[in-house]
Each structure stands twice: as C-alpha cells, then as structure tokens.
Amino acid sequence: MTDFLNQPIGAAPGQPGDRTAFSFETITRLPGSPDGKGRGGTRYGRTGIIHTPHGDIRTPAFVPVATQAAMKAVLPETMRQLGAQCLLSNAFHLFERPGEDVLDAAGGLGRFMNWSGPTFTDSGGFQVLSLGSGFKKTLAMDVTGMKSDDVIAEGKERLAFVDEDGVTFKSPLNGDRHRFSAEISMGIQHKIGADIMFAFDELTTLMNTRGYQEQSVERTYRWAQRCVAEHERLTAERLGKPYQALYGVVQGANYEDLRRHAAEQIASLDFDGVGIGGALEKRIIGDICAWICDAMPENRPRHVLGIASVDDIFACVENGGDTFDCVAPARCGRNGAIFTRHGRYNVKRAEFKTDFGPLEDGCECYTCRNYSKAYVDHLLRAREFNGFTLATIHNEYFFIKLLDDIRASIDGGYFEEFRDESLAHFYGA
C-alpha cells in the first residue's frame, strides 16, 4: 500500500509541486433525457476519479467535515474505517487556531492530523456570510418578500465588512481584528497544505438585492483572478511541496443569468476544479448545478459546498455534482438526530429509552453492530462524549454509503430506479 502521507505524488526536493499529480477522469456518464436540465437535455451526472498527491477519490463522494483538523469526537482512523475517502477542514478556523504556520511546520494538514488520504480546505469565504450577517449554517432559506443588503440575524452583531480588496472581521474567539483577502487566503491555504483549496469568494444571502448580487459576482471574479495569480506564485515559490489544486467558486444566488455568467467567468480562469456555492433554494438546486456545468470543462471536478439533504444530493449528482461536504451529519448526531434509509428521527425520544435494537436495522456501521438506541440515548442525555462519537459514526457512515451506492447505481445503469426508491423510503412517499 502506497504511503501517501510520507510520499505524496509529485513532490520532489527543490522542485515546485507537479501539477500533473492532480487530475480528473470520467468513468460513466448519465445518458441525456427529455427532462435533462442541461443544454439539449444533457444530464451532467457521472462517476469518476479525482487523482490527488495523497491518493484517489472515487466520485460521486461525500466529504466529511473535520473543521479544526478533527472530526468532533471521532478519530481519523475511524473515519477511514467508515469508508471516508477524504476530509475537509476550514481555513478560517485553522488560521484562528493553531495557526497556519503550525500546520506548515507539521508538514501539512494530513500529517498534522494523521490522515493519509486527500484533504480539502475551504477559503474562509463562508465567514463573510456567517460573521457578516450573524447567520449560522443555513443557506437555503425561504425569503419571500425579504430583501436587504444590510441584513443581520436577530440579536447578532455584524462582525465582518466587505470591500473591494477583501474582508475585515472581528474574531469570534477573542475579538481581535483580522483581514482576509484573495492573497491572504491563498497564503493561509498553501501553508495548511490540503490537496484541494478554494478561491476566496463572497458568499451572499438570498435576502441581498439583485443589484448587490451583481456586484458580488463581479467582485468574486476579480478575487478569483487574484487567487489564481497568487496560487501560481506560491506554487513556484514553495519548493518540495506536493501540488495543491485550486477550485474557483461560482456564485449568483438564484438568478440563472448571474449563475451562467459567473460560471463562464470561472471557467475562463486556470482553475483545477469548481465549487458550486452560495445561497440557493432547494426547488432549483438541480437547475443551478446544470447551469454551471453547461459552462464547465468536462475535466474539472465539481464540488457542491455545504449540501447534506438526501433529495438535494440526488438532484445535484444527477446534474453534475462530484463531491459534497456538510457539517450536518455530525452536528445533527450530537443533538440526537439519526439519519436512516427510512428517514430521520431523534433517538432521544422517550420511546427509545428501552429500545435495545440498533440505530438502524441492517446498518453495518460500527455503532449499529455494537450498540443500541437505548444506550446512545442514555449517553446523549448524560452528555457523555461517547454518545457524540457513536451518533456521529452512524450519520457519517450513512452519507458516505449513500454516495457510494449512488456511484454504483450510475456505473450499473440503474440510477433512476435507485434514486426513486431511496427518496420514497427516506421521505415516506
């Protein structure tokens, strides 16, 4: 077995990282259909392989979120045993602590947390929204009749301010003032050392006006140009390091013309892949993916940021999503919400106090093979860390396996049947 942690592909002493160590190959494409959302009925769903310096990612794939170089309450070795192919960490949080210089000195993100597989970092752009407007993780919102360019969540303080050059923000940890820009984000992410990074972008809310969305798309494009230039400079300068792929991020909220325009802008730049990001509504999530894929080169992998709803995943896969990340499986698990093939339930309900069956019948995860609903309920109520561990293991396994099964259905030619059956079971149709 190749030791990618100590011998990443394409890293040579005194040489810049070899870009050919990162690539994408398509294995199976979904056939077009009369109701396909892409041009001419195209459906962009596919299976493939993302080749990285630290190994391959077979797609479609779920990317568990290890925000601070850690899955909360779960060891990296356990994540590997669950079938996770890769992990994503947050550049903003790692900048706050322990600091990018610490990770650089450790030999990069993977070595720091003893994860031998591929890694992602997001750019910190999400904090433009969450610190700027006080919202947490909810991007798909019902905003009927609500429009404002100065929206603040109730009871929150604006902690981030956007200008042409970047973002000034107040640390939620200690109140210190910091500055992020395209160049600063690239510098931080290069030192963190993930295989896949994202360009610094501005993430708006659905409550921003059309005029502000237009300004934001153009600003994100200008930042993207600066990210590409700084990425090229740092790649040439940081000798002996494996190549880090850079994905551009397409914004534009719910507007088709803005999404298509932004996609063309990002496609015109020398990115290795694309992130499908921004505020959006469930009803058109598949359409948005298709609009973007219409403009994207086939050989660039596509990552859908922050998605972990079962119906959204199917819609995005069918319309071109290759990889997906979200904090929801772990966060929900810590609060007792359990995902199963037959829907989601809360294990802390009174009826499960004496239920000695597994969290999900037929599930092969470590938790379901060894522990009961009653035990997990007890641990979570007692706020024992083992409860967080067991619930997170099950939920992460659910989404990892869901994407594995979707991948098998595309390769096997039965995607539609698997999609319809899975959604009917999950949502009780």
Spatial distance between the Cα atoms of 317 and 92, rounded to a whole number of angstroms: 28
- 229 and 162 belong to one structural domain: yes
Of the three residues 326, 355, 385, the one that is the final residue of a domain is: 326
The response to whether 251 counts as a known ligand-binding position is yes
Q: Which of 408, 343, 334 is nearest to 71 (CA)?
A: 334
The response to whether 116 counts as a known ligand-binding position is no
- 304 and 371 belong to one structural domain: no
The response to whether 277 counts as a known ligand-binding position is no
Q: Which of 169, 143, 149, 173 is nearest to 158 (CA)?
A: 169
Whether 224 is covered by a domain: the verdict is yes
Q: Which of 62, 67, 69 is nearest to 84 (CA)?
A: 62
The response to whether 110 counts as a known ligand-binding position is no
The response to whether 333 counts as a known ligand-binding position is no
Spatial distance between the Cα atoms of 312 and 309, rounded to a whole number of angstroms: 5
The response to whether 363 counts as a known ligand-binding position is yes
- 298 and 340 belong to one structural domain: no
| Catalytic site residue from 104, 122, 272, 322 | 122
State yes or no: is 122 an active-site residue. Answer: yes
Q: Domain with 141 in it: what CATH number?
A: 3.20.20.105
| Catalytic site residue from 104, 272, 312, 325 | 325
Whether 7 is covered by a domain: the verdict is no
Spatial distance between the Cα atoms of 52 and 175, rounded to a whole number of angstroms: 37
Range of the domain at 364: 327-420
Residue 260 in contact with residue 276, Cβ under 8 Å?
no
Element holding 416 (H helix, E strand): helix 415-427
Using DSSP, state whether 235 is helix, strand or coil: helix
Peptide bond into 76 cis (omega under 30): no
- 195 and 106 belong to one structural domain: yes
- Residue 144 burial (CB < 10 Å; 0-12/13-18/19+)? exposed
Q: From first to last of its 429 residues, what are the pLDDT tens digits of the chain? A: 689 999 999 999 999 999 999 999 999 999 999 999 999 999 999 999 999 999 999 999 999 999 999 999 999 999 999 999 999 999 999 999 999 999 999 999 999 999 999 999 998 776 555 565 544 443 444 444 555 555 545 565 666 788 899 888 878 788 888 889 999 999 999 999 999 999 999 888 888 889 989 999 999 999 999 999 999 999 999 999 999 999 999 999 999 999 999 999 999 999 999 999 887 889 999 999 999 999 999 999 999 999 989 999 999 999 999 999 999 999 999 999 999 999 999 999 999 999 999 999 999 999 999 999 999 999 999 999 999 999 999 999 999 999 999 999 999 999 999 999 999 999 995
Q: How far is CA 186 from the centre of its chain?
A: 18
User: Global pTM?
Assistant: 0.94
Of the three residues 326, 343, 375, the one that is the final residue of a domain is: 326
- Buried residues in 238-268 as b, exposed as e (16+ CB within 10 A): eeebbbbbbbbbbbbbbbeebbbbbbebbbe
For 258-264, the CB contacts below 8 A with 24+ separation are: 258/213, 258/214, 258/217, 259/288, 259/291, 259/292, 260/291, 260/292, 260/294, 260/295, 261/217, 262/217, 262/220, 262/221, 262/292, 263/291, 263/292, 263/293, 263/294, 263/295, 263/296, 264/295
Whether 72 is covered by a domain: the verdict is yes
